[in-house]
Structure 1
Amino acid sequence: MEEHFIETSGCRLWTAKQGQGIPDLLISGGPGCADYLEPVASLIDDICEVVRFDPRGCGRSESDDTGYGVKECIEDLERIREHYKIEKWIVMGHSWGADLALAYAMLQPNSLLGFVSISGTGIQNDRDWKRAYEEGVKGKRETCPDSVYSYNKEVHRSLINSWREYMKRPHILKDISMIEVPTLFVYGQRDIRPSWPILQIASLINGAKAIEIEEAEHYIWMQNKSRLREELRKYVSESF
């Protein structure tokens, strides 16, 4: 594995590259989480050249503390792509990272080979799952490892607000329907987040596939790694 710090708009981003094959970017969720997707990278790094990174202000990456939004995130992704001299790549995101990958697919089509959403949230604000989540937190039914779930609260607030504004763009559904690359949506059968917003987006993209992973929750690889591995590898081998 190679590790590099990349300069972008006054910040230094930590990045890592592993494997060989089709170029692939993994985007962690939160927003505001440092990279936690090495387990996913290991599922495909014999057929993909996988790039991971810590977003601004998260983990090993710096931030200028002025706050930032979707625009700056897209610029950072392009800077990473240019640093590794990648012409086009598959962009895979988990949770909010899947939403950012969706925005990238709309805004940077010339940089895109494919788009994969893993446990994405979609563009609709369904509040029912949030109430269930809060009840679970109050009951402390399951302790979550800090290394997986810790995040930068300032980055989280800044990006959530920016994402909400971005989703208010006129003709957003039409923009989604213009995505023309091989597209895969993967979601867990037991994810507390509803699947209907993901299925809505999938229905807008020509040829997109939506796969439910049985017995899996939001972090699919923790409950059904073998099935996730199967679907990701099938997507890569059949699409490219």
Structure 2
Amino acid sequence: MTSTRTHGAHGPDGGHGGGTAPPPGEQVITDDGVRLWACRTGQGTAPLVLCHGGPGLWDMFGDVAALLADRADVVRWDQRGCGRSAPCDGPWTGERFVADLDAVRAHFGFPRVTLLGHSWGAQLALSHALAHPERVAALVYVSGTGIGPDTDWHPAYRENFRARLAEDPARLARWRELADRGPRTEEERREAAVLRWSAEFPDREHALAHARRMADPWFGVAESCAAALNGERARTWGTPELAAACRRLDVPVVIVDGGRDIRPRTAVDSLAAALPRVRRTVLPGAGHLPWVEEPAAFRDAVAAAL
């Protein structure tokens, strides 16, 4: 999901301003000593690791974990410098985040896992599968933006975002006011994020309530992380080499799209066309977080991968 550019509870370097380390028993130590928050739930036997969106956000998969609790051994985690993970100064690179994800897998003793990535997390999960296909049993790619350049989707996304927010003129006006403001209070940063995230939900009556749930608890956005990883994608995604690597990927992939996502779903066609073992499910009434509008259908799509 495209993240709001705020410092939130984080300092200017993207680390938590005065944040605390993950609680004992809920941390993964990476090979460079960074502590990541992690949480393991579920009664199923299939190991499933969830990769949250952003970049620079935190795990918001409580509903997904509950939805799949009887089918999977579910691990949620906050990416480095984000959410409940310990403060750090990076490095903010895709390669580093792939290594962090593999550290989470290894920490819980899983030789192979099913990866479920959402939005930016879908890119991360795909990158891990490309780097370590022998450690990935299946990949569930949710609401990603494909393997083409950002120009394949970002201009349409910006247009669709403003059009959906404009369905409530007062909401759009308030978001613009906050977006154009200089220094903001922490509550104003959170309000701006909630207004932005409300555009992700096609049900306009309940969109604001859904977005507020995303921001509860609120950890702030790791701005330096978001800027660096978005910049890296803009420079390196959409290459012939990436498409060729996807064509060689011998891992079953389930692509799950919300038919009413404001990011054009045609952007994902490039990935679907390249993968040799792929199944695609479109949930027509869903937006960017398809488990919100169509939980039963979303569960079925993920269960098929498990």
> TM-score, normalised to structure 1's length?
0.90
In 1, distance between residues paired with 2:28 and 2:241?
A: 34
AA at the equivalent of 1:16: C
Among residues 202, 207, 228, which one is paired with 2:277 in the alignment? 207
Shift of 1:216: 0.5
Determine the C-alpha separation between the residues in 2 that align with 1:227 and 1:189. Answer: 13
- The one-letter amino acid of 1:75's match is A
What are the ranges of 5 or more consecutive residues in structure 1 without an aligned counterpart? none
Matched with 1:235 is: 305
CA distance in 1 between counterparts of 2:264 and 2:54 reads 17
Deviation, 1:193, is 0.6
The alpha carbon displacement at 1:235 in A equals 2.8
Q: Show the counterpart of 1:23.
A: 47
Name the CA distance, whole Å, in 1 between partners of 2:39 and 2:25: 4
Which of structures 1 and 2 has the bigger CA Rg? 2
The match for 1:78 among 102, 105, 116 is: 102
Greater length-normalized contact order (CA 8 Å, ≥ 6 residues apart): 2
Q: Which amino acid aligns with 2:40?
A: K
2: CA distance, partners of 1:170 / 1:107: 17
What secondary structure is seen at the aligned counterpart in 2 of 1:212? Answer: strand
Residues 10 and 64, structure 1, Cα contact 8 Å, conserved in 2: no
Q: Give the secondary-structure state (helix, strand or coil) at the position aligned to 1:218.
A: coil
* Structure 2, unpaired ranges of 5+: 1-23, 173-197, 199-207
1:55 and 2:83 matched: no
On the 8 A contact 1:69/1:163 being kept in 2, the answer is no
What amino acid does structure 2 have at the position aligned with 1:162? E
RMSD: 2.1
CA distance in 1, matches of 2:305, 2:107: 26
Greater fraction strand: 1
Is structure 2 residue 203 aligned with structure 1 residue 133? no
2-side partners of 1:219 and 1:70: how far apart? 23
Aligned equivalent of 1:155: 225
* Alignment map for 1:139-178 (pairs within 5 Å): 139=169, 140=171, 142=198, 143=208, 144-145=211-212, 146-147=215-216, 151-167=221-237, 170-178=240-248
Query: Quick check: 2:111–2:135 contact (8 Å CA) kept in 1?
Result: yes
Match of 1:12 among 28, 35, 44: 35
In 1, Cα distance between equivalents of 2:77 and 2:70? 19
TM-score by length of 2: 0.72
- What SS is found at the alignment partner of 1:221? helix
Q: Which one-letter code corresponds to 1:133 in the other structure?
A: F
Percent of aligned positions with the same letter in both sequences?
28
- Cα distance change, pair 222–176 in 1 and its aligned pair in 2 (3 A): same
Deviation of 1:45 after TM superposition, in Å, equals 2.1
Mapped contact 2:140–2:305 kept (Cα < 8 A): no
- How far, CA to CA, are the matches of 2:133 and 2:116 in structure 1? 14
What corresponds to 1:91 in structure 2?
115
Give the superposition deviation at 1:165.
Answer: 3.4
Matched residue count? 235
